[in-house]
Structure 1
Amino acid sequence: MIPVLYGIPNCDTVKKARAWLAEHGIEHRFHDFKKAGVPAAGLDAWLAAVGWEALLNRRGTAWRALPDDVKQGVLDAAGARAVMLAHASTIKRPVVEWGQGRITVGFDPSAWSSRG
């Protein structure tokens, strides 16, 4: 299985991650949240693997733009899941499915180098 990188093409971190993969000759598939949406089953797997606190980006402009009642409703994985499905930009990027159940969130070149 080739890795699948999930994100938004104009995100600087996603751009760096895609460039890193290309520089290291790692074939991958890109899943654009804006065009293809957030895969519900994939989101469930990510939540199980890394937890909702690591997956939900509360520092970004997308989170800050949400109404306060929506933000205050995120108390657990179910609340976070609903927000991430409705607002893909609240997912920390990139999410990478490396295969064999290994999932990473964010771009960390040193961790990616030792992913094997």
Structure 2
Amino acid sequence: MDLVAAAIADPVRRDILEMLRPGPLPAGTIAERFAISRPAVSRHLRVLREAGLVHDDAVGRQRLYRLDPERFTELSDWIARFLRPSAWEQRLDALETEVHRTRRDRRNAYPEENTA
């Protein structure tokens, strides 16, 4: 998880990942989209590859890079713990819903008691 977090910490690497979302791209096409040198883009691709976020395949004379979204799972699960309600919060929400439902059902079942 630490390798993934470190790899996505850089905005250039995040841009590369966004570029690869629709599908694989050659290294040259990736490098053309940045105002930095090709060796710098290669270093960014190496970091992403070492973190397991992208894979590269040799296709002729080109290196074709593709995203590996599975590597995001551990980091995503860790982040989600901070976004999802806890088990207790979920249970309390369910209890509150049940209390409101019971009150509504009683009002509907005995409308004459509610008019006084």
Name the TM-score, length of structure 2 as normaliser.
0.25
Q: Larger relative CO (CA 8 A, sep 6+): 1 or 2?
A: 1
Name the TM-score, length of structure 1 as normaliser.
0.25
Q: Which structure is larger by alpha-carbon Rg, 1 or 2?
A: 2
